[in-house]
Amino acid sequence: MKKHLYILFLLSAFLPAYGQSRQNIEQKIEAVLSKMTVREKVGQLNQLDGRGIHGTIEQLKELVRRGEVGSLMNITDPKIVNQLQEAACKESHTKIPLIFTRDVVHGFKTMLPIPLGQAATFDPDLVKEGARITAVEATEHGIRWSFAPMIDISRDARWGRIAESFGEDTYLTGQMAVAVVKGFQGEDLANPQSMAACLKHFVGYGAAEGGRDYNSTYIPERQLRQVYLPPFKQGIEAGAASIMVSFNDNNGIPSTGNKYLLRNILRKEWGFDGVTLSDWGSVTEMIRHGFAEDRKQAAEIAMNAGLDVEMSSKSYIQNLEKLIAEGKVQETALDDAVRNILRLKYRLGLFERPYTDIHKPKETYSAKHLAVAKKLAEESVVLLKNENKTLPLSANIKSILITGPLADAPHDQLGTWTMDGEPGKTQTPAKAIANLYGNKVKVHVVPGLTYSRDKNQSTFDEVLRMARSVDAIVAFVGEEAILTGEAHSLAALNLQGAQSELIKQLSATGKPLVTVVLAGRPLTIGKEVEQSDAVLYAWHPGTMGGPAIADILFGKAIPAGKLPVTFPKEVGQIPIYYNHTNTGRPARGNEKSLDEIPLNAQQSVLGHSSYYLDIGSKPLYPFGYGLSYTSFEYADLKIANTRLKKNDTLSVSVVIKNTGQYTGTEIAQLYITDQVGSVTRPVKELKGFERVALNAGEIKTVHFNLPVSELAFWNSVMEKTVEPGKFKVMVGTNSENGSEATFEVL
Ligand code: GLC
């Protein structure tokens, strides 16, 4: 007997502290399901909003008592959460608890940098830590299901939602997806401080034609498999609890009604057993798509395609019973959807612990949380230019002018999808520089413009007078938060309002000019870069962006961020991204510029290659670009074995030296080129990166180990395989510069 108890004890050590075994949960699901009416089953798939659009709290309680609601969005008062939970657990027939959901994307109260900024850290461990503190803050307010991470590959800066993405690269996005899933969900989803993650938007939303939000996409299956789907698969393998479908129709089929995506790929191929849910009203939006006749057919299409939970649009609760009675939807399909949502509720431990502990000491805005937010903001900043050692501001700078509409913009600094962040808690650059460095330099703050679209130049004279009197100028320009995010596409990416004029006139003073950009997307700032001595790209850096930028300006922190997205010179270059195919006539790089084209030129004098007559073929900055206050040298790239079999591992090493005066961190990037394939292959693909901290003069050898299986791609007959042949490896400081070597797969 003792032996069995000992074995049971040992086994229990491997069970999650709060959770239950999978088998135990499945048994409980069947027991609950067997007692539910069809209407109660449909009720579990109905998600409503708690902000008033679907009724008052009292009206929602009544729907809950009737078993007609399974989850509620946007209620963040834990007392109200508990009242509604009581209506579900004590006053309904099924006693099934509710899940409370929210868009907790980059912080709850303590706002982290926008996800595009977090991607620039190339630091998944820190991003995971940020997601963890976010889950702690959200769960203490009653939220147990967040609609994040957004992992849409984004190659188009006109699309406002690039701000909430992790950029253009599949590998980097996959790393970040896993980091956020693990940060939100912790080791045990049933831990009351864990929050269900939701991978979104499934799939291809970032390829909206023209960068115009919600627009159609035309992504062929190979590109879906190669570029857009992998981060979702990685997120699911990391345990992501749910998937949100995307608004777009791809090749004519709205994701909400795409059975191939929802059943074939998600369930059959990937074995996903979590919850799928609509994006807001995307079920009934299939009517506008011209894909459903009416609300009833929209419900039929979505349920038969495999969409479990309907957010907001109520076509399920209004039609599914009829559709089942008419045989247009099978009750087995309904049962499967209900199993998925019940499984999530069991995994969250809600049947055992449905209520939010409102007496537990709050951790929101704790010093630890603010420190993590600051570290993320620091690591997200990308140094784009630093001439004449302008930065860090040296000890002989005795007075500075802080100017520009983003210098003291507590609301805009937080960025898009700031649902609960409080501008009153934002530490802005203007305030932080004065507080932290006001004892070292005289700080003058003259904004010049009051918001990014401001065209009023009436205070420029005052700005310029001050500029001429100080030792250095720091101008904070960029975008208001409202110009980024959902439904906020832009056709032009230049600085709004009179910001460019401000930079131009500041530059004309001849004083050292540092331009800091706070934005939610790449902007076409080539002119302003030329006019500035140094440029920092700080995205929308969140609550602690001010102290982070201040410490970088004065050298207490050394910038190390790298661009997670290509910066175009002009919007006309879009889509522009590093891992493109080569074409049969790639740009040579020596094409004549517009001014060099001779008059009355003959048709063929300019050659025949793929570039723009007016701006050439290169971006303003390539993917992976970012400078430091120090410098790094790469040498001795070595491949342990240059002839590899398909089940081998590519082992690469490179020596990196800090050749400058400052301690710094270099993000060494590993790119692979498959030189010949049964389909054309990208000119290179990121397959690894390492953050390497080096003191001045220090040398380190960095190792990368890449299983050859990671070189697999979808070939000409749509099989995922590694094809033998010659490959190139590049390890470098960005996607354009590095040491190269070749190897062969046999
Ligand atoms: C929005 C967004 C989605 C969000 C949802 C709920 O339309 O597309 O990302 O999670 O609605 O707010």
Q: How confident is the model at residue 669 (pLDDT cuts 50, 70, 90)?
A: very high
Amino acid 21: pLDDT: 83
Distances (CA, A) of 203 to 83, 200, 232, 432, 690: 36, 8, 9, 41, 29
Are both 54 and 153 inside the same structural domain?
Answer: yes
d(CA 207, CA 228): 9
How far apart (Å, rounded) are the C-alpha atoms in residues 605 and 182? 57
In percent, the amount of the chain with pLDDT more than 90 equals 97
Q: What is the pLDDT of residue 15?
A: 52
Identify whether residues 91 and 181 lie together within a single domain: yes
Per-residue model confidence (pLDDT) at position 8: 52
Strand partners, 653: 638, 703
Query: 300 and 205 in one domain?
Result: yes
Element (H, E) at 82: helix 78-91
Rounded-to-integer distance, Cα 339 and Cα 585, Å: 54
- One-letter amino acid identity for 124? P
Q: Is the CB of 417 under 6 A from ligand 1?
A: no
Q: Distance between CA atoms of 280 and 200, rounded to whole angstroms?
A: 12
- Spatial contact of 579 and 683, defined as CB atoms under 8 Å apart: yes
Q: Tell me whether residue 479 is in a domain.
A: yes
Side-chain half-sphere of 730: how many Cα atoms within 13 Å? 17
Whether residues 181 and 267 fall in one domain: yes
Q: Ligand 1: distance of its center to the CA of 172 in Å? A: 23
Nearest CA-CA partner of 285 in 313, 305, 264: 313
- 280 CA closest ligand 1 atom index: 11
Check pocket membership of 200 for ligand 1, CB cut-off 6 A.
yes
Task: Give the Å distance between the CA of 216 and the centre of ligand 1.
Answer: 17
Ligand 1 atom at minimum distance from 148 CA: 10
Residue type, 458: S
Q: Decide: 339 and 44 in contact? Cβ < 8 Å.
A: no
DSSP for 119-135 reads HTTT-HHHHHHHHHHHH
**Residue 494 and residue 639 in one domain:** no
Mean pLDDT across 391-405: 97
Tokens (6 digits) for 22: 């999978």
Q: With respect to residue 26, please indicate whether it lies within any of the assigned structural domains.
A: no
- Name the residue among 653, 730, 654 with its Cα closest to residue 687: 730
Domain assignment of residue 339, yes or no: yes
Centre a 10 Å sphere on the Cβ of residue 661 and count the other Cβ atoms it contains: 12
- Give the pLDDT score at 20: 74
* Residues 281 and 380 occupy one common structural domain: no
Q: From atom 7 of ligand 1, which residue's Cα is the shortest distance away? A: 280
- The number of the ligand 1 atom at minimal distance from the alpha carbon of 198 is 10
pLDDT tens figures, 437-463: 999 999 999 999 999 999 999 999 999
pLDDT exceeds 90 at position 2: no
Q: What is the CB neighbour count within 10 angstroms for residue 345? A: 25
Q: Which residue has the tokens 């960068």?
A: 211
Same domain, 153 and 281: yes
Long-range contacts of range 180-183, CB-CB < 8 Å, 24 or more positions apart? 180/127, 180/128, 180/131, 180/148, 180/149, 181/131, 181/149, 181/235, 181/238, 181/239, 181/240, 182/128, 182/131, 182/238, 182/239, 183/127, 183/128, 183/129, 183/130, 183/131, 183/132, 183/134, 183/135
The domain boundary residue, chosen from 538, 553, 568: 553
* Ligand 1: centre distance to CA 745 (Å): 44
| Phi–psi pair at 399, nearest 5 degrees | -150, 140
What's the pLDDT score for residue 625? 99
Contact partners, residue 628, CB within 8 Å, separation at least 6:
383, 558, 559, 560, 660, 662, 664, 665, 666
Determine the distance from the C-alpha atom of residue 284 to the mean position of all C-alpha atoms in its chain, rounded to a whole number: 27
Which ligand 1 atom is the nearest neighbour of the CA of 247?
8
For the Cβ of 103 lying below 6 angstroms from any atom of ligand 1, the answer is: yes
List the residue whose alpha carbon is closest to atom 11 of ligand 1. Answer: 280
pLDDT over 90 (residue 358): yes
Q: Give kind and range of the element (H or E) at residue 72.
A: strand 71-73
Mean pLDDT of the chain: 97
The count of structural domains within the chain is: 3
Q: Give yes or no for residue 96 having a pLDDT over 70.
A: yes
Ligand 1 centroid vs 280 CA: distance in angstroms? 6
| DSSP label at residue 186 | -
| Cα angle: 38, vertex 41, 43; to 5 degrees | 110
At a CB cut-off of 8 Å and minimum separation 6, what does 320 contact? 38, 42, 45, 299, 303, 329, 334
In the block, tokens 């003959």 appear at 602
pLDDT tens, position by position, 540-580: 999 999 999 999 999 999 999 999 999 999 999 999 999 99
Question: Ligand 1: which residue has its CA nearest to atom 2?
Answer: 279
The helix (run of H) or strand (run of E) holding residue 665 is strand 664-674
pLDDT the model gives residue 691: 98
Contact between 204 and 217 under an 8 Å Cβ cutoff? The reply is yes
Question: 323: domain CATH number?
Answer: 3.20.20.300
Within this chain, do residues 257 and 170 fall inside the same structural domain, yes or no?
A: yes
Active site residue 279: yes
Whether the CA torsion 411, 413, 418, 422 is positive or negative: it is negative
Task: Give the structural domain span for 44.
Answer: 36-347
Q: Does residue 184 sit in the same domain as residue 256?
A: yes
Q: What is the rounded CA–CA span in Å between residue 313 and residue 317?
A: 9
Cα–Cα distance, 391 to 629 (Å, whole number): 7
Give the nearest ligand 1 atom to 311 CA: 6
Sequence-ordered list of residues with C-beta below 8 angstroms from that of 239, at least 6 positions apart, any chain: 181, 182, 185, 189
CA of 14 to the centre of ligand 1 (A): 36
Q: Output the CA 567–ligand 1 centroid distance in Å.
A: 26
Same domain, yes or no: 414 and 524: yes
Task: Write the single-letter amino acid at 260.
Answer: Y
**HSE-up of residue 587 (Cα within 13 Å, Cβ side):** 16
pLDDT at 624 over 60: yes
Strand order across the beta sheet in which 699-707 lies: 632-639, 649-658, 699-707
The domain that holds 672 is classified in CATH as 2.60.40.10
Question: Where is 371: in which H helix or E strand?
Answer: helix 367-380
Q: What is the pLDDT of residue 604?
A: 92
pLDDT at 13: 46
pLDDT score, position 22: 84
Mutate to test the pocket of ligand 1, among 278, 420, 486 (most ligand atoms within 8 A of CB): 486
Q: Give the Cα separation of 119 and 403 in Å (integer).
A: 27
Q: Confirm if 196 and 143 have CB atoms less than 8 A apart.
A: no
Contact 148, 135 (CB under 8 A): no
Final residue belonging to a domain, choices 347, 376, 407: 347
CB 151 within 8 A of CB 165: yes
How far is ligand 1, taken at its centre, from the CA of residue 572, in Å? 29
Task: Report whether residue 674 contacts ligand 1, using a CB cutoff of 6 Å.
Answer: no
Instruction: From 359, 357, 420, 341, select the one nearest 85 (Cα to Cα).
Output: 357
Question: Considering the domain boundaries, does residue 525 fall inside one?
Answer: yes
Beta bridge partners of 199: 243
Same domain, 313 and 375: no
Which one is catalytic: 156, 213, 279, 420? 279
Beta bridge partners of 49: 73
DSSP annotation of 55: -
- Count the neighbouring beta carbons within 10 Å of the beta carbon of residue 695: 12
Reading the block at residue 34, the tokens are: 């067997």
Q: Is residue 398 part of a domain?
A: yes
Ligand 1 in contact with 486 (CB < 6 A)? yes
Are residues 294 and 306 in contact, defined by beta-carbon separation less than 8 angstroms? Answer: no
Q: Strands, E, within 279-358: which ranges?
A: 310-311
Q: Does any domain span residue 539? A: yes
Choosing from 347, 378, 409, the residue where a domain stops is 347
Give the residue from 536, 523, 290 showing the smallest Cα distance to 429: 536
If you measure from the C-alpha of residue 200 to the centroid of ligand 1, how many angstroms do you get, rounded to a whole number?
9
Residue 548, helix vs strand vs coil? helix
Cβ atoms within 10 Å, residue 75: 22
Overall average pLDDT of the 569-595 stretch:
97
Cα–Cα distance measured from residue 216 to residue 204, given in angstroms and rounded to the nearest whole number: 10
Asked whether residue 565 is domain-assigned, the answer is no
Indicate whether 306 and 415 sit together in one domain: no
What would the DSSP string read from start to end of 576-587?
--SS-B--SS--
Question: How do beta strands 649-658 and 632-639 pair?
Answer: antiparallel
User: Given the CA of residue 200, which atom of ligand 1 is nearest to it?
Assistant: 9
What does the alpha-carbon distance between residue 676 and residue 302 come to, in Å, rounded to a whole number?
41
Q: 144: closest CA among 177, 179, 102, 181?
A: 102
Confidence of residue 81 (pLDDT cuts 50, 70, 90): very high
Residue 353 lies in a domain: no
Q: Answer whether 164 contacts ligand 1 (Cβ < 6 A).
A: no
Distance (angstroms) between ligand 1 centre and the Cα of 247 equals 9
Atom of ligand 1 nearest to the CA of 147: 10
CATH (domain of 451): 3.40.50.1700
Q: Whose CA is nearest to atom 3 of ligand 1?
A: 279
d(CA 662, CA 508): 30
Residues paired with residue 657 on neighbouring β-strands, in sequence order: 633, 699
Answer yes or no: is the C-beta of 279 below 6 A from any ligand 1 atom.
Answer: yes
Residue 523: pLDDT above 80? yes
Ligand 1 proximity of 213 Cβ (cutoff 6 Å): no
Q: Where are the alpha helices (DSSP H) in 277-366?
A: 285-288, 295-305, 315-325, 331-347
Q: CA 163, 165, 171 angle in degrees (round to 5)? A: 140
Of the candidates 581, 648, 623, the residue with the CA atom closest to the CA atom of residue 736: 623
Sheet strands (E) in 586-647: 632-639, 643-644
Cα–Cα distance measured from residue 648 to residue 286, given in angstroms and rounded to the nearest whole number: 47
**Alpha helices, H only, 518-597:** 526-531, 545-553
Of 164, 280, 417, 489, the one to substitute when testing ligand 1's pocket (max ligand atoms within 8 A of C-beta) is 280
Look at ligand 1, atom 8, and give the residue with the nearest C-alpha: 279
Answer yes or no: is pLDDT of 697 > 80.
yes
User: Does the CB atom of residue 280 touch ligand 1 within 6 A?
Assistant: yes
285 touches ligand 1 (CB under 6 Å): no
